[in-house]
A and B are shown apart, each in its own frame.
Chain A
Amino acid sequence: AQSVTQLDSQVPVFEEAPVELRCNYSSSVSVYLFWYVQYPNQGLQLLLKYLSGSTLVKGINGFEAEFNKSQTSFHLRKPSVHISDTAEYFCAVSGGSNYKLTFGKGTLLTVNP
């Protein structure tokens, strides 16, 4: 069985500040990791994914994430946020032959002027 823990339910930051959204997972098999973003009243959009290879993954809108197998983490970072980054962010994991995704409960990022 797999599980995902997003350690912060809400993260308020000021515009142009750096941000890190934390995600830890547990799994007994090799994992594939995803970050999705959801803007208000919209569906989920893929930000980035880790399937294999380089542990530093770059995504859209200037976001990146680092896969750390020893710490079972996949934290999302952006060096300088904009007001338009205000959204809810979901970490998800899949693995093995199971084609389902297991989602974390989400982190609401609020960027203030």
Chain B
Amino acid sequence: DVKVTQSSRYLVKRTGEKVFLECVQDMDHENMFWYRQDPGLGLRLIYFSYDVKMKEKGDIPEGYSVSREKKERFSLILESASTNQTSMYLCASSYPGTSGRNEQFFGPGTRLTVL
């Protein structure tokens, strides 16, 4: 079974802090994604990566950056956390090719609260 893990289930930070959210997958997937989930808004894509050191902006990249130094690990960075970044953050991965047609596998999520 594919396993996607996230470093924390719950995180509380203060405004202005630098925040790192880590995601690791164990299935050698090429593609990795970061979403934020807010009530009534569904999942919104922040960034995705299709290879090591490669990244592309999603729909809401402002205030975030990412890092992918190794294939299995994809980090989301909040350079200076703000209260409007309080949210549930979900990491996902998928494999290339056509067999799965882009099915994504999700981690358990990190609920971040910025005070």
A-side residues, CB < 8 A to B, are: 9, 32, 34, 36, 41-46, 49, 51, 90, 94, 98-101, 103-106
Contacts and interface: CB of A to CB of B under 8 A. Distances in A.
A43 B107 contact: yes
B106 interface: yes
A103 B43 CA distance: 7
Contacts of A45: 106
Interface of B: 4, 9, 31, 33, 40-43, 45, 48, 50, 90, 92, 94, 96, 100-109, 111
A38 B89 CA distance: 13
A51 B102 CA distance: 10
Given A43-B109, A51-B101, A100-B45, A105 B90 contact: no
Nearest to B33: A100
Given A41-B111, A94-B102, 10 more contacts: A32-B102, A43-B106, A44-B43, A46-B103, A49-B101, A98-B102, A99-B96, A101-B104, A103-B42, A104-B42
A34 B105 CA distance: 12
A99 B106 contact: no
27 contacts: A32-B102, A36-B106, A43-B4, A43-B90, A43-B107, A43-B108, A43-B109, A44-B43, A44-B92, A44-B104, A46-B103, A49-B101, A49-B103, A51-B100, A51-B101, A90-B42, A90-B43, A94-B101, A99-B94, A99-B96, A100-B45, A100-B102, A101-B102, A103-B42, A104-B42, A105-B40, A105-B41
